[in-house]
A and B are shown apart, each in its own frame.
Chain A
Amino acid sequence: MNVDSMLSDKVKAIPPSAIRRFFDLANEMKGQVISLSIGEPDFVTPWAIREAGIYSLETGNTHYSPNQGFIELREAISHYMKRRFHIQYAPKSQVVVTVGGSEAIDIAVRAVVNPGDEVIIPEPCFVAYKNCVLMAGGVPVTIPLRAEDNFVLKPDQLRAALSPKTKMIMLGYPNNPTGAVMSREQLQDIVAVIRDLPVLVLSDELYAELTYEPASHCSIAELDGMAERTILIGGFSKAFAMTGWRIGFACGPESILAAMNKIHQYVIMSSPTTAQDAAIEALRHSHEHITPMREEYNRRRRLVVHACREMGLGCFEPLGAFYVFPDIRSTGLSSNEFCERFLQEEKVAIVPGHAFGECGEGFVRISYASSLENIREAMVRLKRFVERNSPK
């Protein structure tokens, strides 16, 4: 029997990563390079949160939780969403605790997408969106966002991508990989396009807490009439430096959340109990946990943006997440060549922009979730590399 032929068509339809070679190279050189290629905080989870996890284990809280998550946590999430983002969700019926934001995205897509349904995905974006849609049998319709628009979705672009088959739009702001945010006004323009259409929105707001002034985070679910058609994905990974705990959540309309919970209960059962107990502590003192990290990211952000501009790389002001997405076209190198050579010649890892969609070609993602010392040194090396590769 040829086992390969037994694989499902859906899995086979998932394309291999566009940066496989770069991945292999970076893995080979791990430990010898400065990595600004990592999409997770360099901070360790704040001690008070870790301690809550330890206490949870000590007291023997090692059993399953209810499928949707402990009610204490869902209540804490509901309060938090109300307090921080002015959106009201009923803890009993409109919140599901998931295994990270990733699971929430998957079950949201699977809960609403039928084979043939189109899902609009503005790119560059997190790599899971498109593949989740493919696995659900949907048809991803990508929109190439423009650097000159600071990688914000424009109403005319959305209008052009809509069709009678459109089921949902997936938005990820603050954005990985560009660091772009969308203001209330910009979101209102998007809402105006879809208000009278039967179209859902999946809003991935994992980076919501990492928004830097003068910007402030606005969820599309806050806007008039949008809560009833938006699935909001939130999490603990980025804001509380809890990536390894694997815990996130989804909020939204009752019937969709019930459908998502149906999938969740059969594939996951329930999110890790220890992580849920730690997450309750995280939300209880969210401000004091998040603020110092956000301030530190903001300082590093300014350093990287300043350094990129000084060396002549075009770079808009990214006011969210922990990424800078400079334009490297002036070097004449493709983003893959740029990153492979930069890695080999200067021992610094950054990610080619086209890993996040074809329109990311010509750009690179620099993560500033790394120590100040690493960032300073990496910028010195980047300057040297860019000077060496600039047309005379």
Chain B
Amino acid sequence: MNKKEEILSLLESNAKLSAAELAVMVGRPAAEVEKTIADLEANKTILGYNAVVNWEKTSSAPVTALIEVRVTPQRGQGFDHIAQRIFRHDQVKSCYLMSGGFDLMVIIEDKSLKDVAMFVSDKIAPLDSVLSTQTHFILKKYKMNGTEFHSKDEDNREAVVL
């Protein structure tokens, strides 16, 4: 891994690291690291900085569903056009083109089961090139983006080990 990739992987696991801290951690001057990050942001290698939130701990936990969508690709545009028609909706949090038994995997977040179901039946299923949809509701999140949701963070080592 070169320094640029090391910085990316550090930021991916903790976006709160400052450029000054990153500089010390990777052993490069702060100005160089600042420039590297600015370049990565400018060329859209870094697209944003998100917090990993466990919404279950709040009163407004959304319902998340994973929708398998089978579609007919369109001449000259493949899957991109239909994918775009789907992922532009705010409810769609992720959208992937897949190999295997279906084509698009769409991850949707909404307020309730009903909202998700209505969204699929109103906005996705009726599209011309959509052949079928299958909705799977997520019941519990164990791990997301490398973060475990229910791990106990206790250090059970001895107080002093020489």
Contacts and interface: CB of A to CB of B under 8 A. Distances in A.
Interface in B130-162: 155, 157-162
B162 A356 contact: yes
28 contacts: A23-B159, A23-B160, A26-B159, A26-B160, A30-B159, A35-B157, A35-B159, A35-B160, A37-B159, A38-B157, A39-B161, A40-B161, A42-B155, A42-B157, A176-B162, A177-B162, A295-B1, A299-B26, A300-B25, A302-B24, A302-B25, A303-B21, A303-B25, A306-B24, A349-B160, A370-B155, A372-B14, A376-B21
Contacts of A127: 162
A298 to B, nearest CB: 8
Contact of B155 (A27, A35, A356): A35
Contacts of B159: 23, 26-27, 29-30, 35, 37-38, 349
B160 A27 contact: yes
Contact of B25 (A38, A299, A349): A299
Given A40-B161, A299-B25, 13 more contacts: A26-B160, A27-B160, A35-B157, A35-B159, A37-B160, A37-B161, A39-B162, A299-B26, A302-B24, A303-B25, A349-B160, A351-B160, A370-B155
Nearest to A350: B160
A126 interface: yes
A355 interface: yes
A15 B1 CA distance: 48
A-B interface, 9 closest residue pairs, ranked by CB to CB distance from nearest: A299-B25, A30-B159, A39-B161, A26-B159, A306-B24, A37-B160, A38-B161, A27-B159, A26-B160
Interface residues of B, number: 16
Contacts, number: 55
Interface of B: 1, 6, 10, 14, 21, 24-27, 155, 157-162
A35 B157 CA distance: 9
Contacts of B27: 302
A22 B159 CA distance: 11
Nearest to A301: B25
Interface string A18-40: 01001100110110000101111
